[in-house]
Amino acid sequence: MKKKIAVFASGWASQILSQYLFGIKKSLDGKLIDTYIFMCYPSWASTEKERHGEFNILRLPHLEDFDAAIVVANGLEFNNEIEFLFNKCRKAGIPSISVGIKTEGLYYVGVDNKIGMKDLCEHLINKHKAKDILFMAGSEDNADSNMRLQVLKETMLEHNLSFDEEKIFYTNWENAKTTAFVDKWCKEGKKLPDAFVCGNDGVAMNVCLALQEHGYSVPKDTIVTGFDNTYDARVFDPSISSVDQNYELLGIESGKLICDLLNGVKREKELEIPCRFFESESCCSSKAEEINILRRDHCRDSYKLKSEDTLLDRKLNKIERMILLGKCYDDIRVNLITALGSEFNYEGDSFHIVLEPSFELSIIHSNMQMRTEGYSTVMQIAFSMEKGFISKSDVFSSRTLIPDHNPDNKEHMYIFIPIHNEDISFGYFVMCDCISRIDSHFLPKYQQRLNIAFERYRQKLGLDELNRRLIEINRIDALTHVKNRMAFETKLQELSAEIQVDKKQKFAIAMFDVNNLKKINDVLGHNAGDTYIINACRLICHTFVHSPVYRIGGDEFLSVLQGADYQNRKKLISNLIFLGLSIVLLITLACSFGEIGEIFAAVGKVGQGENWPFFIIAIVLCL
């Protein structure tokens, strides 16, 4: 039987994550194991609600349905969520691996960063005689960043060098925060340190850019080092001296460990692989020649990548435009099929967009409480294509994760990404076998555009519904709740248009005047007059049940008779008069009973005239 493993990861460290997943893919080849990757993009720069919306995807799977799990903990960054996943794995009772962070009850695989960091520090101190070092850390509670800082302190101490605690800056891995710090440092005229040692390559590249803005040259004026040895860092100018964590090998070893555990093979609880330091231009300018070969390859690919980005933007623009064209919720599916067309170069042949039921309900009910925690048991299908075939299903059980999923005899990797607005969950989308696109920022771009499109669509339909209700309210008479004169004017325009198309249109306009309203108001008060009007209207509506009734004046009503009411108009009017005559008899009998009888008698006198049956009927109905 085919097995399933769940992987939980942050997509921001995209280049090392893609290496790790490629490693897993290699080790699982031919093992009949599918990998389900639940990926989010949390950021310290985001609001708490936005992060909550991202982390919600981690709550989607029931781990009891899986055979094993992997938590890429050192990339998820936020300790509460990491501990949530650890507890989830422990509770499920399945073989589980933590990558990068040791925790009770889970197997551990990681990189011995100390070796690579030690080599980096020794290189700076011994070869470049660095004494004044500024550490550009990640976040204060990031285990990897803190370990690298500790190694730096210990190495400097071994060389009888002091480390200034004020030479630590926590970037929270944010580009803007890194740039602002260096910019302020330079503007204040502070002496540059001998070296900026950075928590990762992204921070290192932003330090270089900020220094270049102020006219400084790396490594001539100061040295900058990174960590991870990513592709971007290798082709950067200057290419970044960094530590390669061997994440592909880490993925291979993780996959082997999973296979052994599933096959009942006993393994050690902890596994670490070595990493190594790579000298490059940001500290050793002599490395330029070998780096230039890589840069030339990168330049050749840049035009192709730019063209692909342009095509992707066009497609995302079309998807957003087609979603917004919808006039009701049911248009989403049709418009998505049109938007996606027959080309699925980006999405693959297994692509799904599913939405929360509350997404639709919130359009109709503006006060609808939308889901912010987990996902509903039953989800709605906005678009679903499995192995190239578009599904016609409307709903599916979220526990199955993928609509109309039918496992085959090949290994696949499915990526699940949330769709949301802040902490409000709209749903999620699924792509298959697309790990090559993780390090191109394709997935977060796709996600962000879907987030925007669905939020705008929800707002648009919500406003359309609100406008429809306001128009409806403006066309309803407040007293009788039938349509008013404005609605009748619109009806006249519709009738005129129909006549232009077919001059043999058959309809009748029946007009009703409720007499002696002023006398009723004078004798019995305006409340009685209002009741008189309401019940006169009610009598008309009960008679002409298939035709719209309009109040076009204070005591004037009108009905447009079409269809059955038009065919039976004479009979209906006769029935109306007969009903009036019948009620006159009731009024005559009632006149002999005390105060009520006196009121009826008074009303009867007021109601004398040629249209007295209508008046009498209304009075009786109101009482």
Quick one: pLDDT at residue 463?
Answer: 82
354-366 confidence digits (pLDDT tens): 999 999 888 777 6
Quick one: pLDDT at residue 305?
Answer: 78
User: Is residue 35 within 8 Å of residue 24, measured between CB atoms?
Assistant: yes
Q: How far apart are CA 238 and CA 450, in angstroms?
A: 36
Q: How far apart are CA 253 and CA 316, in angstroms?
A: 37
| CA R_g for the chain | 37
Specify the DSSP element, H or E, that contains 500.
helix 485-501
Of 621, 462, 604, the residue nearest 540 (C-alpha):
621
* 372 phi/psi in degrees, rounded to 5: -125, -5
53-82 confidence digits (pLDDT tens): 999 999 999 999 999 999 999 888 899 999
Position 585 confidence tier, pLDDT thresholds 50, 70, 90: low
Rounded to the nearest 10 degrees, the angle between the axes of helix 442-474 and helix 357-364 is 30
Quick one: pLDDT at residue 602?
Answer: 45
Q: Is the pLDDT of residue 452 over 90?
A: yes
Bond prior to 219 in cis (omega within 30° of 0):
yes
Q: Is the pLDDT of residue 506 over 80?
A: yes
Q: Is the pLDDT of residue 515 over 60?
A: yes
Average pLDDT, the chain: 87
Paired tokens of 171:
């970037």
Top pLDDT among 620 and 411 is at 411
600-612 confidence digits (pLDDT tens): 444 444 444 444 4
531-577 confidence digits (pLDDT tens): 888 888 888 888 888 899 999 988 899 999 988 888 898 888 888 77
Tokens 């993009």 — which residue?
41
Top pLDDT among 293 and 220 is at 220
Pairing of strands 389-390, 242-244: unpaired
Q: How far is CA 83 from CA 72, 77, 383, in A?
A: 12, 11, 34
Q: Is the pLDDT of residue 578 over 80?
A: no
Q: Is the pLDDT of residue 52 over 90?
A: yes
Helices (H) and strands (E) in the chain, counts: 21, 22
Top pLDDT among 89 and 287 is at 89
SS3 content of the chain, % helix, strand, coil (to 5): 50, 20, 30
Q: How far is CA 556 from CA 183, 511, 517, 540, in A?
A: 77, 7, 11, 11
Is the CA virtual torsion 415, 144, 283, 132 positive or negative? Answer: positive
**pTM, full prediction:** 0.73
Bond prior to 238 in cis (omega within 30° of 0):
yes
Q: How far is CA 362 from CA 333, 427, 465, in A?
A: 18, 14, 11
Q: Is the pLDDT of residue 449 over 90?
A: yes
Among 415-419, 530-534, 582-586, the range scoring the smallest mean pLDDT is 582-586
Question: 488-500 burial, b for 16+ CB within 10 Å, e for fewer?
Answer: beebeeeeeeeee
Q: Is the pLDDT of residue 584 over 80?
A: no
User: Is residue 378 within 8 Å of residue 398, measured between CB atoms?
Assistant: yes
- 3-class secondary-structure state, position 204: helix
Specify the amino acid at residue 76: L
